[in-house]
Every structure is written in C-alpha cells, then in structure tokens.
Chains A and B, each alone.
Chain A
C-alpha cells in the first residue's frame, strides 16, 4: 500500500551543519496496517512523514502509495490520497473560518472544487452527524470560527476532518502531544475508533511508548534516518514499554561507545 524505497535526504548539503535526515530509509505498509513510529529526536520521523505527504522532496529514493509513484508529486495533489493530523492544533485548521467551512475544505480534499454552493443542507447535516461522534458539543457550533475553540477541540476537529472522506493513508504526527492528558486521551480514543471503523491504513508518530504498545499492529523504530527495528504480529502483542525503552538504551549505549 505504502512503499518507501531507499529514501535519502540531506539538509544543508556541503555546509558545516550538514544533516542526514533520511539515510536510505525503506518501509512498506500493507492496506489496513496501523504502524506506530517511534524514535528519538532527530531520528527522521518527521522527515519521513514529510516525505510521504510531499512537504519534503527526496534527494533520491521513491515513495509509492497504492502502486502510484508520488515521489515528485506536489502536496496538493497527494492530498487526494492521504490526510494528515499535525502536532500543532493550529496547523491543521483554518482559524478564521468556521467549523463547517473547515469540514467542507477537508470533505473536498480528493475532489475537484467547483463553482457551486459549498455548504448546503445535506452537507451541514452530515457534518453535524460526524461531529456528534466526538461528544464535545462541536455539532452545535458549526458556525463558530475555529480560533474560538480550545486546543483540544481544534485537534479533535482536525482528526474528524482527516478521517472524513476515508483517505487511503492517514498520517498522525504526534497529534496528541500538545494536549493535556485528559484531552489527549479523548482524541486518542476517537482516533482508534475511527481507524478501526473505517479500516484506515495509518502511520502514527508518537513519543508515548504506552501508545506504541497499546495501539497498532506494527512498531517501527527509526534511528539516524533508517528503520532500526520493526516489531510485528505475535512479537508486537507481547512487547512491553520496558522492552521498547530497552531498545532506546542499547542505541544510546552504542552512541556513547562511538563517541
């Protein structure tokens, strides 16, 4: 479904602060897979997501989504295939527009925008129904501008916007990291409900080891721009938080020795 082949990206090539973000990274996800991506800061998690979404153009390597080569495709064209929720609630929504208008924007992600009325009664009713699932009361605030919502409400809205329209691939970029624990929990539960109900192929980046253990059918650990470790199937079921932290420790020991 998702295929990344030997992706390579170097920032500031030839300068003193040259940084290898992706170092021949390869990864493949099958349809319906829920991959959880972990790794320390600078391991290449965000670069990988950006390479998939198109925000980052690779130096070499290939990205395929459902057999389509999207390596050189601009962000707005890839949007027809994938949806993304960012860590920052501000990034995923248009603040000065209303809840309903934001829903409309996401609704038309994979369609051609025409010169016909945007928000009609049918759409408004559908949006109301989708927002009700969250249980945050957003369904009664369709005409509220998004900037008036709390961070948690905005992030929940981003999530509903992303899963609506059933994208072929859902990218979650530490999407609960900026929220308080209670709201983070609500958003995480809503995520899991939606992913399971719609059987979405998902890639979630997280720093929360408990989430990595609890959710998904595959753990992908990145280090220095490569996949260091993949845990799937049976093994994934039995993995504990302690095991995962152990892997991090091995890595930092090696780093100590190398230095």
Chain B
C-alpha cells in the first residue's frame, strides 16, 4: 500500500511538468498527423525538423535575438525541410518514408552545421515562457498556459482552414489524389505546402522545447517520431477521427495523455532504457489491432498509402 502511495505521489508531483512538456510536444504530433492522415503521406521528416527548429532557435537566442524571431526562423526552416521531403517524393517518385529518412539524415548534418557544435546552452536568455502575465516566469504553470493557448489557437486556425475551399481541396489530395487532380487541384502544390506546414509545426515544437529546457541539442529529436505516433494513436482512440475536428484534436489529446502515461510508468519504476521498447510495442499493438480483430484472414490493407 505504501508503495502504491509512493508511486502515486511521485506521479502527481510530476503532473504539471509533464503537462507543460506534452503541450509543447503536441505540435510534433500535429506535424506527424497532418501528412499521415490528411495527405496519406506517411512522413518521417519530423525526426529531423524537430531538432532543426531547436537548433535554429537556439543559435538565434544565443545571439541575443528575441524569442519571436527565433520561433519565426524555426517555422521557416521547418517549412523548407518539409517542402524538400515532399519534392523528393513527387519529383523522383521515391517512397515517402524513404524521402523522409533521407531528409532527416541530411538534416542531422545541417543541424550540426547550424549550431557549430552538438549542444548549446540558452539558459538565462529571454524566452517566450518569461513573457507571461500569469504566474511566475519559467514555472510549469506559465508554460502550460502559453503552450496551451498557442495549441488552441493553432487548432482553431487549422479547423477553419480545412473547412475552406482550399482546405477541402488539400484533404481531397489525401483522400484520392487522382480524383483531386481531375477536379482541378494541383496535387504538387497541395502536397508540398501540406507537408511543409506539418514540418513547420515540428520545428515550432523544437524551438519551444529549447526555450523550455534552456538548451539545444542535436540529438533532441531522437525517438520523437515513435513517441509522436504513439501519442497520435492514443489520441485517435479517444477522440476518433470521423470528422475534421476530431482528427485535429487527436494530436493534442493524445500528447497530453501519452506523456502522463509515460510519467506514470517511470514513477512505477520502469527502467528508462526500456521506454522505447514499450512505446514501440504499444504502437505495434495499436496498428495490429484491426488485423487481430479480423482474425487470421489477411483482408485488404488497412491504410492506403502512396507508392
């Protein structure tokens, strides 16, 4: 009994920190969801775009630039990275996953070049999380309010966008690219813009993370993709994905729940090295579930993806 109480109290103590972290990482999950679900373009760029955003923001912050400049630069860099991945796929007909792997591998060198070394401290530099009129600067509550408000704003804007004429066109590219093209939609523009936007969100997440933790590290993206996927699966299991709003809410809900679960596992004494194995098994289980339910018959592939 005392042990359970111990686990519980150490979990509860970590709830605010974890919540702040998960709201920042929700943008990566969003950056994974948009290509995967809206464009049928399973994309791995986020593993490189997240540290890219962090490195770009880190260098600018260390040079004394304002946090907003740093975030804007990270967004632009992320957008460019996403556009490259989409272009590689479209122009050379390379599978989206391979295009993403190429991009994230190349980004590793680029990130090192940008920073000039493997990590960079921006501790004590001005950050977005110090501008808060709520609570004390730098405390989890401030981060929760700022990251949460930013997330809500992005969610609303994306929802409105996907309901516009142009947004509906972009969704059609994901649903049926041939049909979309026959309806006068430029598949290239929509794909490049959409994947670019998604990577911009991943980079935004990286730039926020750097400001939150006070340093940028070239390895900060390691494993972010599988964590993001796990969060997305959980989110979709909770919110569903039948409507645009549910699909857009899934990354945010998923990120919050997933990172609390991780925190609970750690509090319960799971050795941190096992975390990736557990996450990977979880994602595998979620992806395998429909096939397990159907029995052994191999049925149609569940996810229709681009070649």
Q: Which residues of A contact B (CB under 8 A)?
A: 53, 74-77, 79-80, 83-84, 90-97, 101, 104-106, 108-111, 113-119, 145
Contact = CB atoms under 8 A, between A and B. Distances in A.
Interface string B150-178: 00000000000101111111011011101
Interface stretch (B57-65, B182-190, B272-280, B290-298): B182-190
A118 B179 contact: no
A151 B185 CA distance: 24
A114 B183 contact: no
Q: Main SS of the interface on chain B?
A: helix
A79 B181 contact: yes
A114 to B, nearest CB: 5
B180 interface: yes
Contacts of B182: 53, 75-76, 79, 83-84, 92
Contacts of A109: 183-184
A221 to B, nearest CB: 26
Max count, chain A CB within 10 A of own CB: residue among B165, B172, B178? B165
Contact of B183 (A95, A96, A105, A118): A105
A90 B128 CA distance: 48
Contacts of B184: 76-77, 79-80, 108-111
Given A91-B179, A108-B165, 8 more contacts: A76-B185, A76-B187, A79-B184, A105-B172, A105-B179, A108-B184, A109-B184, A114-B165
- Contact size range, B: 20 to 34
Contact of B176 (A79, A94, A108, A116): A94
B194 to A, nearest CB: 14
A145 B178 CA distance: 18
A93 B179 contact: yes
26 contacts: A75-B182, A76-B187, A79-B184, A83-B182, A90-B176, A91-B176, A93-B176, A94-B175, A95-B175, A95-B176, A96-B175, A101-B171, A104-B168, A105-B179, A106-B183, A108-B169, A108-B183, A109-B184, A113-B166, A114-B164, A117-B163, A117-B165, A118-B163, A118-B165, A118-B168, A119-B168
B150 to A, nearest CB: 21
Interface of B: 161, 163-169, 171-172, 174-176, 178-187, 242
A105 B181 CA distance: 10
B180 A105 contact: yes
A94 B176 CA distance: 5
A118 B167 contact: yes
Interface-central residue, A79, A90, A95, A145, by most chain B CB under 10 Å: A79
A110 B185 CA distance: 10
Contacts of A83: 182
Contacts of B181: 75-76, 79
Contacts of A76: 181-182, 184-187
Contacts of A105: 168-169, 172, 179-180, 183, 185
Max chain A CB contacts within 10 Å: which of B161, B179, B180, B184? B184
